[in-house]
Amino acid sequence: MKQLRKLSVLMLLVASFFMTGCDAQQILDVIQKVATGVQQAMPAVRDVVNTFNGVVNNNDQAGANNNATGTANIENTIGNLANIFTTNPNAENIAGAQNTAAAATQAAAGGTAMGARVASSIRALVGSTRFRGADVDGGNLACAQVVSTALRDAGVLSRVSLNCDQVVSDLRAVGWQRVSVPPYQEGDVVTWTTSRGPGRHIGIIVKQGSSFKAISNSSSARTPRVHEINYMPITQVLRKV
């Protein structure tokens, strides 16, 4: 700025010299006027320079702020991406869905391992003629004997009973409870209401194709057979829970 000021004064002196000739007094008058003009103009020049510097500084500051903001945004974005890849907020929902699917598959296939064993044991008795002893009226009243035999063979009960109420009591003693149905599961023990009263007939639920059936002793055939679950009014359904 000082160099510019000196150069301006020098140029004014040279111009004054040529305009006025070699008259020293005139040169001094011109110099005096130039100096006065420069002195008066300096505040305005200074304001212009300051304004320019302010604009430059503001732009630099704005650029720095924008860069800082951009850097912060980038860091936040990177942090968010890290969270996305390191944290799975749906992990518990996914595990729940898998457990539900597994439970549904297990129920469709037989409910539990115990239920599958019970169903397998009762199937093995279908058509058998071994339940025609005198103690069950030649097979007419063998339903409790058939079911308790299947439950014993599956490792659920330790004895064979000839009475429906005794089979239910033994099941309750090992943790079986009454459940609401449907849905059914393989191995469920069901009792029906007959002409003799509630719970006078007993059988076991099995899966057959895409549906559930029951196996119980047939009084007329005097052998275990497969039939519809609701062929008589259901009294209760028991399951290990």
Give the other-Cβ count within 10 Å of 232's Cβ: 19
- Cα distance between the two ends of the chain: 96
CA distances (Å), 123 to each of 32, 116, 187, in order? 129, 11, 11
Query: Which tokens go with 232?
Result: 């008589």
Give the other-Cβ count within 10 Å of 198's Cβ: 14
Give the other-Cβ count within 10 Å of 92's Cβ: 9
Q: How confident is the model at residue 39 (pLDDT cuts 50, 70, 90)?
A: low
**Closest by alpha carbon to 214, among 113, 105, 123?**
123
**Closest by alpha carbon to 129, among 8, 29, 225?**
225
Residue 240 is given by DSSP the state E
- Per the model's pLDDT, the better-predicted residue between 17 and 29 turns out to be 29
Rounded mean pLDDT of the chain? 75
List, for residues 69-89, the tens digit of each pLDDT value. 554 454 554 444 444 333 343
* Sheet hosting strand 189-194, strand order edge to edge: 176-178, 234-240, 189-194, 197-208, 211-218, 223-227
**pTM greater than the 0.75 cutoff:** no
Percent of the chain residues past pLDDT 70, beyond the cut: 54
Domain ranges in the chain? 2-86, 110-240
**In this predicted structure, what is the pLDDT of residue 170?**
98
In this prediction, residues 89-97 reach a mean pLDDT of 39
Query: Which tokens go with 238?
Result: 């028991």
**In this predicted structure, what is the pLDDT of residue 212?**
97
Percent of the chain residues past pLDDT 90, beyond the cut: 53
- CA dist 73 and 200 (Å) reads 76
Q: How confident is the model at residue 201 (pLDDT cuts 50, 70, 90)?
A: very high
In this prediction, residues 44-64 reach a mean pLDDT of 53
List, for residues 130-160, the tens digit of each pLDDT value. 999 999 999 999 999 999 999 999 999 999 9
- Per the model's pLDDT, the better-predicted residue between 114 and 30 turns out to be 114
| Cβ partners under 8 Å of residue 136, min gap 6 | 142, 145, 162
Cβ 111 vs Cβ 197: under 8 Å = no
Beta-bridge partners for 214 = 205, 227
Top-level CATH class of 110-240?
A: alpha beta
